Amino acid sequence: MNQIITVGTSHHIAPLDFREKLSFSESQLTEALQLLTEQPDVREATILSTCNRVEIYAVIHSKDGGAVLSEFLSNYHRIEPQELKKFTYSHQDVDAVRHLFNVTASLDSMVVGEPQILGQIKEAYAQSLAAGATSDILNRLFAKAISVGKRVRTETNIAAGAVSISYAAVELAKKIFQSLEDKTVAIIGAGEMSELTARHLVKNNVSQVIVANRTYQRAVDIAKKFNGIPLAYDADLSFLVEADIVISSTDAPHYLIDRPALAEIMKQRKHRYMFLIDIAVPRDIDPEVSKVDNAFLYNIDDLEAVVAANLEDREQEAEIATQIVKEEVAKFQSRLQTFEVNPTIKALHQQFQGVASRELGTCLDKAQLTSKQQKMVEAMTQSIIKKLLHQPTKNLRQIALNPDLIEATDDSDGDHLQYVRTLQELFGLEETDTTE
C-alpha cells in the first residue's frame, strides 16, 4: 500500500550545524528530487529546505517508508545513520498530514504566526511540481496544506502584533506617525539591534537615514547599507533637529540625550513629533525626556513588554488555529481514504464494461435488431452493470471512510485495504497504483 511519509529535522530538535549538513541548496533540489523518485518504492516527493527545517514529504509503496527516506538522506548528505536518527523525526499518513498542516499554519515555527513559511512551502511544492516529482496524492496534499495556511491567517489573528524588538519599534513608530514615508531616522551608535531596527524602518519607506558614531568609519560603513548620511558623533546634537525617529544604542556610561537638550531641539523642530528608541543598557536617553511635549520615548523594557503581550495574544490565536488544523486533517483523511479505493473501483467497473462490451458485440452480430432495439439493449446492459456494482462500490467507499466498521481478524489489522486486496483477488484485477 502507498503511505504518505515525512522525514525531517527542525529547530525543535536539531542544532544549527546539523540542519546545515542536512539542507539542500536550490541548485541541488532538482537533482535530489530526481534521485529520490528513482528509488523503487518512491512514487512522489517534495523537499522543503529552510534555515529552520529540512523535510521530505513522499508517497512510498513500502511497509517502512521512513527507513527509505532516512537511507536516502544518509547517503545523499553522507551523514552517519546514528547521527541522522538522533536529530530527525518521522511521521506517517494522518500524522504526516497533520504535521504539514501545522507547518503551513506556522504553528510549528520558531515564532508562531511568522509569515515566511507559507511562501517557502509554496516554493518547495512549485519546484517539485516543475521537476515532475509529484502526482495526485502530493498535489492534493500540498494544495490543501496551502489552503489551510491561508485559512488560518484569514480566520485568526495569529500573525498580528510584532514579536521581535525591531518589529515592535516599527509598529510603535507607525502608530505615532501613521505613515513613515517622509520621515528621517537618526541612528546613534552602531549596535546590531539599532541597525536591524533601521533596516525594518527603511523597508517601511522612511526617506532618510543619518548615522552618528564616535568612530567615523563605522558610521560610513553603516550609512552605506541605507544610502544614508554618516556623521562623527560629538556632544552637539543639532543633527537631531531633522530626525523624526531616533535609535540610540551605545556603550556610553552616561546619558547622551537629557531633557533640557531635547527640549531645545523640539523648539527648533516646532514641536513636531519625535519617536525615540533607547536600546542601550545602561540607557542613553534620560527617562525625563518623556516629559517633553510630543517626544515619545521607549526603552528596551517597553519594547519587550509589547513583544510579550503580542506573543501571549498569538498563543491564544494558536489555539483557534489548532482547531482549524484538526478539522482540516479529518476532512483530508476522509478524502484520502476514499481516494485510495477509487482505482480498484475504477478497475472493477472497467472489467465489467469490458465483459459486457464483448458479449454484447457477439450478441448484436448474430441478432437482427433495428437501431432503436440495439440502443435499448445497450442501455439495459449499462443499467444492469450499474445496479450490480452500486452496492459493492457504496460499501467499499463507506468502509474506507469508516474503517471501524471492519472487524479485525487474527491475520488482518481490520483496515479497509484488506477489502481492496480481496476484491482484486476475486475478480483478477491488476493492482492499481493510487497515484495514477
pLDDT tens-digit map of 224-247: 999 999 999 887 899 999 999 999
What pLDDT, on a 0 to 100 scale, did the predictor assign at position 417?
63
What pLDDT, on a 0 to 100 scale, did the predictor assign at position 1?
65
Residue 434 has pLDDT above 50, yes or no: no
51 counts as catalytic: yes
**Sequence spans of domains, the chain:** 2-155, 165-307, 341-427
Residue 408 has pLDDT above 60, yes or no: no
Q: Which residues of 54-84 are buried (b: 16+ CB within 10 A; e: fewer)?
A: bbbbbbbbbeebbebbbebbbeeeebeeeeb
Q: What is the mean pLDDT of the chain?
A: 88
Mean pLDDT within 146-156: 95
Pairing verdict, β 208-213 and 229-232: parallel
Instruction: Give pLDDT tens digits for 346-401.
Output: 888 888 888 888 888 888 888 888 889 888 988 999 999 899 888 887 877 777 66
The Cα-based distances of 46 to 34, 144, 224 in angstroms read 10, 15, 40
Q: What is the 8-class DSSP label of residue 56?
A: E
Q: How many CA atoms lie within 13 A of 425 on its CB side?
A: 6
Q: Cα(82)–Cα(69) distance, rounded to whole angstroms?
A: 14
Residue 316 has pLDDT above 80, yes or no: yes
Catalytic residue among 13, 51, 309, 330: 51
Q: Do domains 2-155 and 165-307 have the same CATH topology?
A: no
Q: 209: buried, middle or exposed (CB in 10 Å: 19+, 13-18, 0-12)?
A: buried
Cis peptide before 81 (omega within 30 of 0): no
Written out in words, the top-level CATH class of the domain with range 2-155 is alpha beta
Neighbours of 2 (CB within 10 A): 20
Mean pLDDT within 51-70: 92
Instruction: Give pLDDT tens digits for 63-109.
Output: 889 999 999 999 999 999 999 999 999 999 999 999 999 999 999 98
Give the contacts of 247 (CB within 8 A, at least 6 positions apart).
169, 185, 186, 187, 188, 194, 197, 198, 277, 279
Q: Who wins on pLDDT, 268 or 281?
A: 268
Instruction: Give pLDDT tens digits for 120-144.
Output: 999 999 999 999 999 989 999 999 9
Q: 165-307 domain in CATH 3.40.950.10?
A: no
Cell of 182: 517622509
Task: Bin 200: left if φ > 0, else alpha if -120 < ψ < 50, else beta.
Answer: alpha
What pLDDT, on a 0 to 100 scale, did the predictor assign at position 406?
55
Q: 422: buried, middle or exposed (CB in 10 Å: 19+, 13-18, 0-12)?
A: exposed
What pLDDT, on a 0 to 100 scale, did the predictor assign at position 94?
93
